[in-house]
């Protein structure tokens, strides 16, 4: 490639030594495409299909029975509740953090970015254990809170905390590069035209980042509903009370109740599919806008 750019004469002299990057023989091309597709089918499609096959093994009746069973409903409700708290919290935090990092210069910025990435780099089990150490009966805080009637561990607040912790990088991570790319030009223009800080945020910054934000929220939500490790540590596994959907799947599986386990698993799989479809639809419908906001 380098030679190519140097002189047209060189390429004219020995044209046969330069090939187009995509000029493999049809056989090789098909082989590569086939390999990639087979790989995808084996690692993604096959497991996905097998979940649904397993879930409907005893027919649609057994499938829906498993979903309307009271413990399953409680698990679904709890999962939705946890996501409904964790996602908005992380949305606000993510925007604030990305805003601060992308638009301002301050000491310790690199440190803050590293800190945001922390939940990505530590094992979810540790993320859960942190809260056991903080709020458990053997800790300093636990008995103090308990004497005031506040329960955190092995109750809903603990599950929410653990979920917020493992999902908080999603929105911020999505927005930081986007906002850094966009720079501060638009905001400066708005401010110099007399807009207040809030006005600038609502009318300039937010519209610029809305698609990245939405994408971050989708990912954050998927993980919040799907988180297993950290939640498992702080849950206490009380049926119908502190079991989220992923935990419920494990319990059913361990009870040899494979149909019900996979039935609940299909809900999680569907959630993943809906997330993907939403993302695809958004990109198709607002593709130009997204591209514009990305380049800007």
Partner 1 sequence: MSNFLNKLSAIALGVSLAIGPVVPAMAQTTLLNVSYDPTRELYKDFNAAFAAHWKKETGEDVAIRQSHGGSGKQARAVIDGLEADVVTLALESDINAIAERTGKIPADWRGRLPNNSSPYTSTIVFLVRKGNPKGIQNWGDLVKGDVQIVTPNPKTSGGARWNYLAAWAWANEEYKGDQDKIRAYITELFKRAPVLDTGARGSTVTFAQRQIGDVLLAWENEAYLAGKEFGEDSFDIVWPPISILAEPPVTVVDGNADAKGTRKVAEAYLQYLYSDEGQNLAAKHFYRPSKRDVVAPELLQKLPDIKLVTIDEPVFGGWAKAQPEHFGDGGIFDQLYKPGK
The footprint of partner 1 (CB under 8 A) covers: 70, 74, 77-78, 80-81, 83-84, 88, 132, 135-138, 142, 146, 151, 153-154, 156, 202-203, 206-207, 210, 236-241, 251, 254-256
| Nearer of residues 40 and 274 to partner 1, judged by Cβ | 274
How many CB atoms sit inside 10 A of residue 8's CB? 9
| Nearer of residues 36 and 96 to partner 1, judged by Cβ | 96
| Nearer of residues 172 and 233 to partner 1, judged by Cβ | 233
Q: How far is CA 287 from CA 6, 225, 280, in A?
A: 37, 27, 9
| DSSP H stretches of helix in 148-192 | 156-167, 169-182, 185-192
Is residue 41 within 8 A of residue 206, CB to CB? The reply is no
Q: Is 97 exposed, middle or buried (0-12, 13-18, 19+ CB in 10 A)?
A: buried
| Nearer of residues 113 and 241 to partner 1, judged by Cβ | 241
Torsion of CA 100, 176, 118, 234, to 10 degrees: 90
Torsion of CA 164, 166, 168, 173, to 10 degrees: -170
∠ Cα 72 134 138 (to 5°): 95
| Nearer of residues 112 and 279 to partner 1, judged by Cβ | 279
What is the C-alpha separation between 189 and 10, in angstroms, rounded?
A: 50
| Nearer of residues 119 and 128 to partner 1, judged by Cβ | 128
């Amino acid at each position: 490639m380098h030679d190519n750019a140097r002189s047209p004469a060189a390429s004219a002299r020995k044209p046969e030594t330069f090939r187009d990057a995509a000029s493999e023989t049809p056989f090789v091309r098909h082989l590569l495409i086939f390999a990639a597709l087979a790989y995808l089918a084996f690692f993604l499609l096959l497991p996905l299909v097998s979940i649904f096959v397993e879930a409907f093994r005893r027919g649609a009746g057994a499938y829906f029975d498993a979903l309307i069973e009271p413990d399953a409903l409680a698990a679904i409700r709890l999962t939705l509740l946890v996501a409904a708290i964790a996602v908005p919290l992380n949305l606000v935090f993510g925007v604030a953090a990305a805003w601060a990092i992308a638009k301002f210069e301050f000491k310790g910025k690199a440190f803050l970015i590293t800190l945001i990435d922390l939940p990505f780099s530590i094992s979810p089990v540790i993320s859960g254990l942190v809260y056991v150490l903080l709020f458990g009966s053997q800790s300093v805080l636990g008995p103090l809170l308990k004497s005031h009637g506040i329960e955190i561990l092995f109750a809903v607040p603990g599950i929410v905390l653990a979920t917020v912790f493992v999902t908080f990088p999603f929105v911020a991570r999505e927005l930081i590069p986007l906002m850094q790319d966009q720079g501060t030009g638009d905001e400066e223009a708005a401010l110099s035209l007399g807009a207040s800080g809030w006005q600038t945020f609502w009318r300039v910054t937010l519209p610029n980042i809305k698609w990245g934000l939405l994408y971050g929220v989708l990912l954050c939500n998927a993980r919040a509903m799907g988180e297993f490790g950290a939640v498992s540590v702080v849950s206490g596994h009380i049926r119908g009370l502190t079991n989220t959907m992923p935990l419920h799947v494990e319990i059913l599986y361990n009870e040899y109740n494979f149909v019900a386990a996979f039935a609940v698993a299909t809900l999680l799989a569907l959630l993943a599919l809906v997330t993907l479809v939403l993302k695809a639809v958004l990109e198709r419908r607002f593709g130009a806008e997204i591209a514009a906001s990305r380049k800007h």
